[in-house]
Amino acid sequence: MTVPLRPRRSALYMPGSNARALEKARTLDVDCLLLDLEDAVAPDAKDLARKQIVEAVTAGGYGDREVVIRINGLDTPWGETDLQAAVTAAPDAILVPKVNSPADLQRIAHTLSLHNAPESLKLWAMMETPEAMLNAGAIGACGKDPEVRLSCFVMGTNDLAKETRARLLPGRAAMMPWLMTCVAAARLGGIDILDGVYNAFQDEVGFAAECAQGADMGMDGKTLIHPKQIAACHGAFSPSAEEIEWARKINAAFDLPENASKGAIQVDGKMVERLHAEMGKRVIAIANAVAARTANDNERQS
């Protein structure tokens, strides 16, 4: 595998109005930071939050962490100003709330190119409206159009529950069709997808179960609301030692000269196809990327 993978196991939201959280983020072992101007910020704190986020991102010091600014929708009084401010701050990505259709992303991408924003500035899309669930395939397909810059889906399960009136219960049975549709849509576009938040951040058992469920569903990681959720989240979304060993074993088996022209072989009593070896290569690439991140963190702390 040649494409370097960026682990997106964890993405911690923090209100832009909370200066302490923005500062604390520089020391947290988290893959992505979602600096919020939208739902977590009250209307009368929007200007302060915008100013604080621009200052914090411009000052930097976030290391390997992917820095993402969530703006308000362009149909709100703050959206346009947020977008301009985000371009000035130059984070890794802008998270667009309440995306309903490809046009919502194309419009913002167009503004970015008018401002000569570097190609490295990506768009992430909140998937959280009934329209988005019904247009998921078309939105995901934007991942294939470099002009749209789409790089990641973020499930907004709280908004989705509000808009659809579906209940967010343990096991998430009512949400499952939408979550899996969005996983398929993300893969169609070749982008990542992050699971929704778990509101009861004191409930470690329930949180661990939901992380495991998200990993089983194919989510790349989970959005978080509190630093205490990070470690368990990484546990669920990092490849396990067994998965890494199995991935290495099946790739080594296919590399043997006697298997050079075979499509399916037997390893430890299981049928293994070349597609499994490909999946294994991805596991190894993610494990390597996680190990590189951890090594960098250790270096900084020593």
Of 40-48, 152-160, 198-206, 232-240: span binding Mg ion (CB under 5 A): 152-160
Rule CB under 6 A: is residue 226 a binding residue for ligand COA? yes
Report the 10 Å Cβ neighbour count for 170: 10
160 vs 287, beta carbon nearer Mg ion: 160
Where do runs of H (alpha helix) occur along 10-78?
19-24, 46-59
Rule CB under 6 A: is residue 21 a binding residue for ligand COA? yes
| 37-76 positions binding Mg ion, by CB under 5 A | 39
Candidates 2, 20, 44, 258: give the one binding ligand COA (CB under 6 A).
Answer: 20
Rule CB under 6 A: is residue 67 a binding residue for ligand COA? no
Name the 3-class secondary structure at 69. strand
The Cα–Cα gap between 212 and 38 comes to 28
One-letter identity of residue 279: M
Rule CB under 5 A: is residue 297 a binding residue for Mg ion? no
Q: At what angle do helices 204-217 and 176-189 cross, to 10 degrees?
A: 50
The Cα–Cα gap between 156 and 260 comes to 45
> Using CB distances below 5 to 8 A depending on partner kind, what does residue 13 bind out of Mg ion, ligand COA, none?
ligand COA
Name the 3-class secondary structure at 278. helix
Candidates 1, 24, 42, 279: give the one binding ligand COA (CB under 6 A).
Answer: 24
Candidates 188, 225, 267, 292: give the one binding ligand COA (CB under 6 A).
Answer: 225
14 vs 290, beta carbon nearer ligand COA: 14
The Cα–Cα gap between 294 and 302 comes to 12
> Using CB distances below 5 to 8 A depending on partner kind, what does residue 30 bind out of Mg ion, ligand COA, none?
none
13 vs 246, beta carbon nearer Mg ion: 13
227 vs 239, beta carbon nearer ligand COA: 227
Candidates 159, 192, 210, 220: give the one binding Mg ion (CB under 5 A).
Answer: 159
Residue 200 beta carbon to Mg ion: minimum distance, rounded to whole angstroms: 17
Where do runs of H (alpha helix) occur along the chain?
19-24, 46-59, 79-89, 102-114, 130-134, 136-141, 157-164, 176-189, 204-217, 230-237, 241-255, 274-301
Report the 10 Å Cβ neighbour count for 225: 17
Rule CB under 6 A: is residue 15 a binding residue for ligand COA? yes
List interacting residues with ligand COA (CB under 6 A). 12-15, 20-21, 24-25, 36, 39-40, 197, 225-227
